[in-house]
Amino acid sequence: MSFAGLSLGRPIIMGIVNVTPDSFSDGGDNFDTASAVAHGLRLIDEGAHIIDVGGESTRPGAKQIDSIEELARVRPVVRELISAGALVSIDTRHAKVMEVSVDEGVQIINDVSALTWDPSAIKVAAQSGAHVILMHMKGTPQTMTGEAEYDDVVGDVIDYLAGRIKACADAGIAIGRISVDPGFGFAKNTAQNFELLDRLDEIAALGRPVTVGLSRKFGKEAKPKDRTKTSLSLAAQAAEKGASIFRVHEVAETISALNRTS
């Protein structure tokens, strides 16, 4: 099995480039084009297979921006990284940002709303030919903190993702172009996050590559950039439970940690 031309016989590492002033762990670090591109190239040098570029923070309570502002942030970064030969993913909920980014050469659409937030997104994704990552989230970044209520968090996430896979297939997105993401930290409390991790193999049983975003989200007693040890431990656990794609800040360290567990 493969995803976006990458073999799933080994962990796929997706390096994060947040072109934002307000992301929870690195907001402002790479807000200008030059530093964002340099950071992306550095992550490739460290071994990242994919560079995930985002222009809108989706942390709890983040300010929503429109597609014009988002495109102004990400388009020049995407263009330069693709010119340098990078395999680029666009982290966006906006159909217009998806469309323009794919025209620039982006091959993966990573949507925290699983192509539900923008009514045009699923059609744009289908027509684009891009691979897609469908993430589970209840509510929006502005409301999700109060929506962590489930009868069975794992069962509910599986049902949602299965429904989104079917919706995408019905819209013309080939099943082989789809990955799923349980959405760690998005409308889930600590206990729910760890139940999802412990039962991640049940999500993998959907038959699609599982993407996980665990980096810097846990270990609240430390500042986000001081959570590397916890992030690496959780990535290793996710790998053992069937995760295929790892969206991370620390690329070299994650590769080393996953190599030790393989």
Residues β-bridged to residue 89:
52, 108
Which residues are part of the catalytic machinery? 217, 247
CATH number, domain 11-261, options 3.40.640.10, 3.20.20.20, 1.10.1660.10, 2.30.290.10: 3.20.20.20
Beta strands 211-212 and 178-181, pairing class: unpaired
pLDDT, tens digit, for every residue of 82-137? 999 999 999 999 999 999 999 999 999 999 999 999 999 999 999 999 999 999 99
CA gap 227, 119 in Å, rounded: 36
The structural domains of the chain, with segments of one domain joined by +, span 11-261
Q: How far is CA 11 from the centre of its chain?
A: 15
Neighbours of 127 (CB within 10 A): 13
CB 86 within 8 A of CB 40: yes
pTM of the model: 0.93
pLDDT, tens digit, for every residue of 211-244? 999 998 887 666 767 788 999 999 999 999 999 9
Q: Between 217 and 202, name the one with better pLDDT.
A: 202
Q: 161 is written with which tokens?
A: 């993702």
